[in-house]
Structure 1
């Protein structure tokens, strides 16, 4: 693509006025690089393979042409039929796609009907499908079930989209997908969308695409350094709890944060640890029921709490795991909104995992930061990550910079953190896992009809409630002045005087930061006020 070419705007892409109004309402000024390249090809009816990094606008790249084609076909359509089928590897991604497409079609009134049939409620799914919606969003397994039962047919299908295509086979949908091909009409337009190209993508391409255009844009895997900063703290396992506690209690990390760990047990251990210091957090992992995962993500996105602890299990290391275990890989696909920081409490196991975790922040035009705790055993992967990042950036300097953190300054936090971390035994973690799952299943399933009639009560269902399997010592929630580093005493004092609402506001955080330019624990590369920006209303 010619770098000197003027960017084509949305109104120059032959999109319907109703779509343009919705785009304007969403605040999109210009199409992203992948949107500019993909939308005209898809409107021409060509099969396309789209490869672009996370957060680059891939959903709109296929959704806008799909909506436009349906509007065109409605002019001459004799009967209502399913025009587009969008397949995603998990229920969370299906819901995200449906929500995004509904916003893009919001000015079309009732002309465009979109349904998500990825849930476990078969009766509701059949009812939704009986009305022959224009767009169906689901997983390969779910749509195959309905096709085999005769609940729907795809004879009038015009467009097939496979989102996060590289994960469809990885999540155990290979057999389902190959069976699905037999139910497709002879002629249809196909789109494969992915952040990476794998051998599975090639197999899928041969199954459903005909002479496709391949859009493999030459762009870095992550946004530039000016938008996304990479920081690391050299810390061994025994140091991590004290450092994290100090960073959070001294308000050195602000905004909305995704904290990554490498296992489900670590999720609960870290939540129980933060709970002892009155730091509320919620959990996202593959063991939680789908509805709970979706509700947790929605509440985090709505700003109900600022810390979500996500387990990023590597499904390929345990090939014997069942399909349902793999549907919650938190580093891929899930749209955490307005995330200021990604914190790698456990350093990722491979380079790709780091890239995908980093993609949870600095989405769109927002700025973000990745802060990683790196131990000696992580050195090899850390070096590999550094080499990968350098290949995508023009700077010859180190991309992952050392966070200017004086470990001796938080020595007083160590004994508190050490005792709190030690108190969380395997038994405590096991009990916490059982208690949270049982409680949330009860709240969501047994009281379903109650919440249907009392939507306000549903908002009270929070996922950052204390698990209460470890004895809480009230004094740990308070940071006494004698353990606060001298240079931060003014910061701690001003923090304690503010209400939580005031401190969360952009102006309050900005003024506090600007008054603490001599703070030795804040890296000079991180300007919170510029990085985070005001929260979305």
Structure 2
């Protein structure tokens, strides 16, 4: 099915083709007509499936249909959890909108940088604002923009935005928006508790769920290597050299680990650099661009890079430290195998993390053999089992956040 069959204008079809979208992906085929009709949408599809274009293309068409002259008012608000994703989504929308008859002004705002240039950029208004929640509220408090004209609200990586980490800011933003608006929520994963919150925002939503049919599953070969914790860096170096991966994204648990592992690899002759939230925004932007330009072979990162970041033709990702949850596992490995490319996702499993990885496998319906590389045979033994009812994978038992969310829902139900 061509893009033209979905009801998009010739200008947008041409823009999509120019960006390399030869035909709609399953999530685009399902979501674009619903967004054009003005329906609320709850979209769940794998990472790399084209979710950004699934909402960007129809929103641009709707803005064109009712173009407004300057001064512009914010009509579409797109909220994202990270600065990098904000910049990426903004660039996609700008690229798709360049050839439109009516110019669309897109403002991208996020924290970690001076607010003054963003305030200057909002003079004269904007049609579309792509924002992280905290900086958006800062700009509202500085009277740099108003949200009373928003017609379309998008939550990209909606499960993160609905989590308690963003819940307070999101509620403040929702109170500033018109009650009558179109709501579009997209993510690769929706935990049951988060999905309940999402559905509370929506009115008779169209549910777009791209199943795991073979044609829709990214070509990611998943492998698990048994290795002692103290030998992971050596094994990582061995795998990078043996497979001659041109670029690798390595996930670790902490900023310190990102710095430490990157330094060890660099000293061993592998061009590696850390990427984490402790870096300045300028440094983060520079690392990503240099990685895309093949100037770094390995980027060692925290979960900051697990969502939304699109690195074309990334051949491999490595879980040096296992993710806290099965959902995080999905987002991490989704950095490879994007846009029809193939990739490999490697997880290091030590004796101490074996039980945790089994829970991830169970949640993801996986059963991966534990591979052992000659020379790296594990010698560690599993620690004694924890008392019943403790530990386990995030989401397997109620966390403190889960309990607080449940209490808030119960209180709301009593009012």
- TM-score between the two structures when normalised by the length of structure 1: 0.65
- Contact 2:147–2:176 (CA under 8 A) maintained in structure 1: yes
2:310 is the alignment partner of 1:335 = yes
2:340 is the alignment partner of 1:362 = no
| Correspondence 1:244-263 to 2 at 5 A | 244-249=236-241, 251-263=242-254
Over residues 332-353 of structure 1, what are the superposed CA-to-partner deviations in whole Å (9 max), with x where a residue is unaligned? 2222332101112223343333
Over residues 385-440 of structure 1, what are the superposed CA-to-partner deviations in whole Å (9 max), with x where a residue is unaligned? 3334436xxxxxx5x3455732279xxxxxxxxxxxxxxxxxxxxxxxxxxxxxxx
1:406 maps to 374
Per the TM alignment, residue 234 of structure 1 is displaced from its structure 2 partner at its CA by 1.6
Specify the structure having the higher radius of gyration (Cα). 1
Instruction: State the distance in 2 between where 1:222 and 1:116 align.
Output: 34
- Contact 1:221–1:355 (CA under 8 A) maintained in structure 2: no
Q: 1:407 to 1:224 in 2, by over 3 A?
A: farther
- Contact 2:46–2:210 (CA under 8 A) maintained in structure 1: no
| Correspondence 1:216-365 to 2 at 5 A | 216-219=209-212, 224=217, 227-249=219-241, 251-312=242-303, 329-365=304-340
Q: Let me know the Cα RMSD of the aligned residues.
A: 2.5
Per the TM alignment, residue 79 of structure 1 is displaced from its structure 2 partner at its CA by 5.9
Q: Match of 1:131, SS?
A: coil
- Contact 2:254–2:302 (CA under 8 A) maintained in structure 1: yes
Instruction: State the distance in 1 between where 2:6 and 2:16 align.
Output: 13
Q: Which runs of 5+ in 2 are unaligned?
A: 378-415
Q: 1:181 to 1:239 in 2, by over 3 A?
A: closer
Instruction: State the distance in 2 between where 1:203 and 1:354 align.
Output: 22
1:30 maps to which of 7, 23, 36: 23
Instruction: State the distance in 1 between where 2:354 and 2:290 align.
Output: 35
Q: 1:223 to 1:265 in 2, by over 3 A?
A: farther
Aligned length: 375
Q: Match of 1:107, SS?
A: coil
Instruction: State the distance in 1 between where 2:104 and 2:172 align.
Output: 28
Q: Match of 1:21, SS?
A: helix
Per the TM alignment, residue 186 of structure 1 is displaced from its structure 2 partner at its CA by 3.8
Per the TM alignment, residue 10 of structure 1 is displaced from its structure 2 partner at its CA by 0.4
1:382 maps to which of 338, 344, 357: 357
- TM-score between the two structures when normalised by the length of structure 2: 0.83
1:114 maps to which of 106, 109, 119: 106
Per the TM alignment, residue 366 of structure 1 is displaced from its structure 2 partner at its CA by 0.5
- Contact 2:307–2:331 (CA under 8 A) maintained in structure 1: yes
Instruction: State the distance in 2 between where 1:288 and 1:14 align.
Output: 43
Instruction: State the distance in 1 between where 2:209 and 2:90 align.
Output: 25
Q: 1:376 to 1:127 in 2, by over 3 A?
A: same
Q: 1:197 to 1:365 in 2, by over 3 A?
A: same
1:99 maps to 91
Per the TM alignment, residue 77 of structure 1 is displaced from its structure 2 partner at its CA by 6.0
Q: Match of 1:160, SS?
A: strand
Q: 1:163 to 1:285 in 2, by over 3 A?
A: same
